[in-house]
A and B are shown apart, each in its own frame.
Chain A
Amino acid sequence: MLVSNMEVVPGKRITQHLGMVQGSTVRAKHAGRDIMASFKNFFGGELKGYTELLSESRDEAIARLQEQASALGANAVVNVRFSTSSIAAGASEIFVYGTAVIVEDR
């Protein structure tokens, strides 16, 4: 499944729009990690645990997006956008959405 954040797919023609598809996930790290992160707020630096957590959740959200798209019979998702919001202390929601389309070679 082709996923792209452009409106066009180079070398391919979009033959059909199948509507918007989305994927989202809410994740939290365990309390130990949160405590370590609040210590890190004194020292500064990268929070590797959180970076990892967020990129894992993003992969998960994209996987769900692709699942929805293939259920619609699409073979590509274009114009993909990400959105992140922290909905509670230590938990954040990753939301990804795009347009499911059918493309074919030019």
Chain B
Amino acid sequence: MGFLIFLALLVIGYLFGRLAEQRHYRSIHEREDALRRITVIPLRVPPPELLKHDSQLVSGSVVVSVDYFKTVAAGLRNLFGGRVGAYESLIDRARREATLRMQEKAQSLGAQTVYNVKYETSRIGDNAGQGLGSVEVLAYGTALTAPSVKA
């Protein structure tokens, strides 16, 4: 009985998790294309030609959850060692989503670039010690708006 529940959860996790991941990647690709003109640059100091711009802190964050299949797959991978692909794609999605949300924020301010971008990743949730649970990614930076755009 316990094994059946485990199997059912595994199948549910695989199907729903894959569906969510595919859908998410599709939306990420679409929005990345749309937001490509908002440049994101991890430089600490902007070049002198931007020194007349207005600056403002912008951030974007997202919390994504693992699915049961990923938890089990990563647990197995832990035994053998090597790349944990299940978690790699999860964190990749979270980072890109956070970046996109930050870009959207910058766009709504009329900014063209975001400088000094920093990332911050943390684990959320209560299943410490038994896998990843949920992961939060925060992206933040300084949006630079041309003064003429704002006026």
Contacts and interface: CB of A to CB of B under 8 A. Distances in A.
A6 B46 contact: yes
Interface residues of B, number: 50
Contact of B20 (A3, A41, A44): A44
Interface stretch (A16-24, A47-55, A67-75): A47-55
A37 B62 contact: no
B71 interface: yes
B40 interface: no
B149 to A, nearest CB: 14
Interface in B110-149: 115-116, 118, 120, 122-128, 133-134, 136, 138, 140-142, 144
A51 B94 CA distance: 11
Nearest to B119: A82
B124 A50 contact: yes
Interface string A1-28: 0111111111100000000000000000
**SS class, residues of chain A in contact with chain B:** mixed
Interface string A63-106: 00000000000000000111111100110100000000000000
A41 B50 contact: no
A80 B124 contact: no
Interface string B42-86: 001110001111111101011111111011000000000000000
Given A43-B13, A43-B16, A2 B63 contact: no
B52 A5 contact: no
B127 to A, nearest CB: 7
A4 B71 CA distance: 38
Contact of B136 (A41, A54, A81): A54
14 contacts: A2-B55, A3-B56, A3-B57, A9-B55, A37-B134, A41-B134, A43-B12, A44-B13, A44-B70, A47-B124, A51-B63, A81-B118, A83-B120, A90-B125
Interface of B: 9, 12-13, 16-17, 20-21, 24, 44-46, 50-57, 59, 61-68, 70-71, 97, 115-116, 118, 120, 122-128, 133-134, 136, 138, 140-142, 144
4 tightest A-B contacts by CB? A44-B67, A89-B126, A44-B17, A50-B63
